[in-house]
């Protein structure tokens, strides 16, 4: 069964998305997500200019050979642009294969190990009291796990804080927003937030927190020690993830569970983290870590070492990625938790899907394939607009990790 057509669709229903559509000679369509927040056009070009010319005429059933052809065959390996482009091809081919088998993807992946996938939502607040109220709103909505973030006095534009009731989407504008960061203020303030959510809302739910790459290893160890007594489900991205050895220092000083991986895109980038058990959850995703084929390998390696999945699921990953993630999450033995930021209504309108939210969980659909598509006519109504992620600077102007 040959690939007959390819199409790269850049659309912006509330935010930018890059989507690959592959059509086989018998008219079967597969969809893949290739969205890389703030660098979307780089991936669109990698697909349009380098991969798609090689796709037409290839056997659509040969998913693994195609993956290896684009990974090894590129000579230049890894990185978010390459791996997001390969991921989109991989997702589309799995979608086609499942449709041809007339199975939902979870069946093709070996069948469900669980009927539903536990998710966590994002609570934010300009003040700790606002964050507590937002956590309570989400617990009342049925979530049993909530990520809590709050503004940090002495900084401007702390990570993860949106206006009340607004969707958090940090990428905006034709130049990166400049934010300021002050680690001592953060290390004093974050534990107060943990204490407040526990004092006010108890312990019968899981609190998560995203440090967003901003600490040194010792600072991360200090943070871990200062919040251990509040039983965090995880501290996410405590330090820049590419420095895998930094996690040895964190591990040596604190028992706070650690999660990282959303900015990493191959098994080699998480190999040390997993095999040395330096993390408790690996957050790599279908779109940024080479698709279903490669993410399965990462989760299988993680399973050997007792590391569980905790895939990234922000709104800058399209509903196609979320749909694929829920199918994979439903089938792996070492599922941990799935991030779930509900997409904007206009996004969901452009990306019809069969997964659904119910009582703190996502349930995969049973339509053949991964269950997500793109309405091309509606997508055409939302042209691409440049949108940069912010940058962070220390008080002396030093460029820091955002």
Q: Which stretch binds ligand CS2 (CB under 6 A): 74-82, 130-138, 195-203, 310-318?
A: 310-318
Cβ(287)–Cβ(34) under 8 Å? yes
Binding-site partner at residue 37 among ligand CS2, Mg ion, none, CB < 5 to 8 Å by type: ligand CS2
Binding-site partner at residue 226 among ligand CS2, Mg ion, none, CB < 5 to 8 Å by type: none
Binding-site partner at residue 208 among Mg ion, ligand CS2, none, CB < 5 to 8 Å by type: none
Cβ(271)–Cβ(261) under 8 Å? no
From 212, 294, 312, 370, active-site residue: 212
CB 262 to Mg ion: min, Å: 5
Of 123, 241, 314, 320, the residue at the interface with ligand CS2 (CB under 6 A) is 314
From 120, 159, 281, 355, active-site residue: 159
Number of chain positions touching Mg ion (CB under 5 A): 1
Of 12, 37, 239, 266, the residue at the interface with ligand CS2 (CB under 6 A) is 37
Binding characters for Mg ion, 92-131, by CB under 5 A (x = yes):
----------------------------------------
CA dihedral 235, 239, 241, 244 (to 10 degrees): -100
User: Beta strand 391-394 with 399-400: parallel, antiparallel or unpaired?
Assistant: antiparallel
Q: Both tokens of residue 363? A: 């349930």
CB nearer ligand CS2, residue 104 or residue 170: 170
Of 273, 239, 243, 258, the C-alpha closest to 400 is: 239
Q: Which stretch binds Mg ion (CB under 5 A): 105-113, 164-172, 209-217, 294-302?
A: 209-217
Is 281 tagged catalytic?
no
CB 118 to Mg ion: min, Å: 18
369: helix, strand or coil: strand
Of 6, 210, 269, 280, the residue at the interface with Mg ion (CB under 5 A) is 210
CB nearer Mg ion, residue 343 or residue 370: 343
Binding characters for ligand CS2, 247-276, by CB under 6 A (x = yes):
---------------x--------------
Rounded to whole angstroms, how far apart are CA atoms 220 and 187?
Answer: 9
Q: Which residue(s) pair with 102 in the sheet?
A: none
Chain residues 119-138 in contact with ligand CS2, contact rule CB under 6 A: none
Q: Both tokens of residue 263? A: 């900015």
CB 360 to ligand CS2: min, Å: 17
Q: Residue 5: is it exposed, middle or buried by C-beta count within 10 angstroms (0-12/13-18/19+)? A: middle
Rounded to whole angstroms, how far apart are CA atoms 137 and 73?
Answer: 49
Cβ(30)–Cβ(15) under 8 Å? no
DSSP state of 228: G
Q: Residue 360: phi, psi to the nearest 5? A: 80, 10
Q: Which stretch binds ligand CS2 (CB under 6 A): 71-79, 87-95, 269-277, 311-319?
A: 311-319
Label residue 139 left, alpha or beta by phi (over 0 means left) and psi (-120 to 50 means alpha): alpha
Q: Both tokens of residue 192? A: 């107060």
Cβ(11)–Cβ(347) under 8 Å? no
Number of chain positions touching ligand CS2 (CB under 6 A): 10
Rounded to whole angstroms, how far apart are CA atoms 79 and 71?
Answer: 11
CB 362 to ligand CS2: min, Å: 15
CB nearer ligand CS2, residue 30 or residue 291: 291
> Residue 388 is inside which H or E element, if any?
none
Q: Both tokens of residue 315? A: 């709104």
Of 33, 95, 210, 280, the residue at the interface with ligand CS2 (CB under 6 A) is 210
Is 106 tagged catalytic?
no
Binding-site partner at residue 343 among Mg ion, ligand CS2, none, CB < 5 to 8 Å by type: none
Rounded to whole angstroms, how far apart are CA atoms 185 and 130?
Answer: 18
CB nearer Mg ion, residue 10 or residue 148: 148
CB 173 to Mg ion: min, Å: 21
User: Angle at Cα 322 formed by Cα 143 and Cα 304, nearest 5°?
Assistant: 85
CB 377 to ligand CS2: min, Å: 27
Rounded to whole angstroms, how far apart are CA atoms 324 and 105?
Answer: 8
CB 402 to ligand CS2: min, Å: 8
Chain contacts with ligand CS2 (rule: CB under 6 A): 37, 170, 210, 212, 262, 312, 314, 316, 339, 389
Q: Which residues bind Mg ion (CB under 5 A)?
A: 210
> What amino acid positions are annotated as catalytic residues?
159, 212
């Amino acid at each position: 069964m040959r690939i007959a057509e390819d199409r790269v669709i850049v659309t912006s229903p509330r935010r930018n998305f890059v989507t690959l559509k592959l059509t086989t000679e018998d008219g079967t369509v597969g969809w893949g997500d290739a969205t890389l927040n703030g660098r979307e056009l780089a991936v669109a070009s990698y697909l349009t200019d380098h991969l798609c010319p090689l796709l037409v005429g290839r056997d659509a059933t040969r998913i693994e050979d195609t993956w290896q052809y684009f990974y090894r065959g590129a000579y230049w390996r890894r990185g978010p642009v390459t791996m997001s482009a390969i991921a989109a091809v991989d997702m589309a081919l799995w979608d086609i294969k499942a449709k041809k088998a007339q199975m939902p993807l979870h069946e093709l992946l070996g069948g469900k190990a669980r009927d539903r996938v536990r998710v966590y939502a994002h609570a934010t607040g300009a003040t700790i009291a606002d964050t507590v109220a937002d956590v309570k709103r989400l617990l009342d909505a049925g979530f049993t796990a909530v990520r809590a973030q709050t503004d940090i006095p002495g900084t401007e534009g702390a990570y993860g804080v949106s206006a009340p009731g607004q969707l958090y989407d940090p990428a905006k504008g034709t130049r990166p927003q400049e934010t300021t960061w002050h680690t001592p203020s953060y290390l004093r303030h974050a534990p107060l937030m943990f204490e407040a959510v526990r004092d006010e809302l108890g312990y019968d739910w899981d609190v998560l927190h995203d440090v967003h790459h901003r600490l040194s290893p010792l600072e991360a160890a200090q943070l871990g020690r200062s919040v251990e007594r509040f039983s965090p489900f995880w501290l996410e991205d405590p330090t820049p993830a590419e420095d895998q050895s930094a996690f040895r220092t964190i591990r040596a000083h604190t028992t706070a569970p650690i999660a990282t991986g959303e900015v990493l895109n191959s098994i080699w980038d998480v190999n040390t983290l997993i095999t040395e058990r330096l993390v408790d959850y690996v957050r790599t995703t279908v779109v940024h870590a080479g698709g279903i084929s490669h993410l399965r390998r990462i989760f299988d390696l993680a399973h050997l070492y007792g590391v569980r999945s905790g895939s990234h699921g922000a709104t800058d990953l399209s509903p196609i990625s979320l749909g694929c993630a829920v199918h994979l999450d439903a089938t792996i033995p070492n599922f941990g938790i799935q991030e779930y930021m509900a997409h904007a209504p206009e996004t969901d309108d452009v990306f019809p899907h069969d997964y659904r939210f119910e009582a703190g969980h996502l349930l995969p659909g049973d339509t053949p394939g991964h269950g997500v598509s793109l309405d091309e006519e509606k997508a055409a109504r939302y042209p691409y607009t440049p949108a940069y992620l912010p940058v962070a600077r220390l008080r002396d102007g030093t460029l820091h990790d955002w």
